[in-house]
Copies of this chain bind each other. A is one copy, B any other.
Amino acid sequence: MASQPHDSSRHDNTLAVIRSLREHGPAARVDIGTRNGISSATVTSISADLLQQELITELPPDVSRPSGRGRPKTLIHLDTEAACVICVKLSINELQLVVGDFAGQVRHSEHHSVATLTLTPGDLTALLEEKIAAVCTTALANHRRLAGICLAIQGVVSSHSGTLIWSPALSFRNAPLSPPLAERFGCPVLLENDANCIASVLATQPAYAGYPNLVVIMLGYGIGMSVMIDGVPFVGANGSAAEFGHSKYQPGGALCACGKRGCIEAYASDYALYREAREVLDLPAGDSAHPSEQQMQALTQLAMQGDPEAQRIFAEAGRALGYGMANLLALFNPDLVLITGSGVRGYAAMQESMQTALDEALVSELIGPTRIVSCPWDRDMTCLGGIAIALQATDSQILSAS
């Protein structure tokens, strides 16, 4: 009498073993069991399956490290070549491709300069197909399978449908990006907001673990945010939740890149800061609507060195951030707010007025125990997150496909 498996415990436990190996590296069966709350007998059974599917291998005994009394542990680890994933990060005028193996390690990374704002949807799809195909032939030779692709894009995306809704890096809106790539490469293609990618990485870091309600704010050309609830990004109905940059500071206020007025982004983003500054300060020439890192550094320097006009501009940005933060705390009541992104370079010049504005706006009961801290910016983190997300999403498929 055949029957469908009525519960998912084997499946869940198998995924737990894989993720445990990916997170902690090679381990003995007995330790995997302890770490995941399952018996070593079960780990034996699961690893036998995984060995047979060639998803894991046994490490040869390490003769250099003395093993102590008793039978030595036999470490198992993920077969790094069992599969790989690609993360493609699209930001203004730049395309980054990173290849990660089945164990989550970066195996290849490349950057391309692209005039993203001039692309049509067709151009973009063709470009992505070309670059991904190139990476596949050069960097994927040893991998048995391309398990998934993650497109990490600054802006608003609908992950569910794989549709780009709107990005500051692109001049078009509402275009399906995932479907053509999924068709072309025969694997799942995830579309993710870049802030969600970064937040996924930060949420697993020991320093920030143990905060089930984590908010990550990304300052930069625009202002992005990710709200992680129990380790999962909150995306809302169609993926456009957490648009902190377009929440309001001042009705009818400064003009935002979105076309509306009074958004937080219209006060505290790079372009907003530079727009204010260039009227009154002597700053490097260049496209002041899309200030470069050098331009922003020059402006930040001025504030740090005590220029009163520059300080006033950052203080006003901090005030807008503080009022935005008040809404964030009133509505999400997070444990921790991390402020990062390239714009953290100016955080010191905004922090005091931000805190003042927050205290002015919100009663202490609603500020509660929320901690607000900045976090150094690492531009490669987006792709690390994209790779982790792609692997998580495809583990289940890899399992059933073998």
Which A positions have Cβ atoms within 8 angstroms of B? 6-7, 9, 156, 165-166, 173-174, 212-213, 227, 229, 234-244, 246-251, 258-260, 262, 319, 323, 326-328, 330-335, 357, 360-363, 365-366, 368-370
Contact = CB atoms under 8 A, between A and B. Distances in A.
Contact of A238 (B156, B165, B237, B333): B333
The oligomer's copy count stands at 2
A331 B333 contact: no
Contacts of A357: 251
A259 B366 CA distance: 12
Contact of A327 (B7, B331, B368): B331
A323 B252 CA distance: 11
A243 to B, nearest CB: 4
A234 to B, nearest CB: 8
A7 B262 CA distance: 52
B360 A260 contact: yes
A281 to B, nearest CB: 25
A268 to B, nearest CB: 14
A113 to B, nearest CB: 28
B246 A366 contact: yes
What 7 pairs between A and B have smallest CB-CB spacing?
A236-B333, A241-B333, A243-B330, A237-B335, A247-B327, A240-B333, A7-B9
B238 A368 contact: yes
A323 B248 contact: yes
16 contacts: A166-B363, A166-B365, A213-B237, A227-B331, A235-B333, A237-B333, A239-B333, A240-B365, A241-B332, A241-B333, A246-B330, A247-B326, A250-B250, A258-B366, A260-B363, A327-B327
A213 B236 contact: yes
Contact of A260 (B212, B240, B248, B362): B362
B331 A243 contact: yes
A229 B331 CA distance: 14
Contact of A244 (B242, B328, B330): B330
Given A247-B331, A258-B363, 7 more contacts: A174-B365, A237-B333, A240-B365, A243-B331, A248-B323, A248-B361, A260-B362
A99 to B, nearest CB: 32
B331 A244 contact: yes
A330 B363 contact: no
A361 B252 CA distance: 8
Contacts of A7: 7, 9
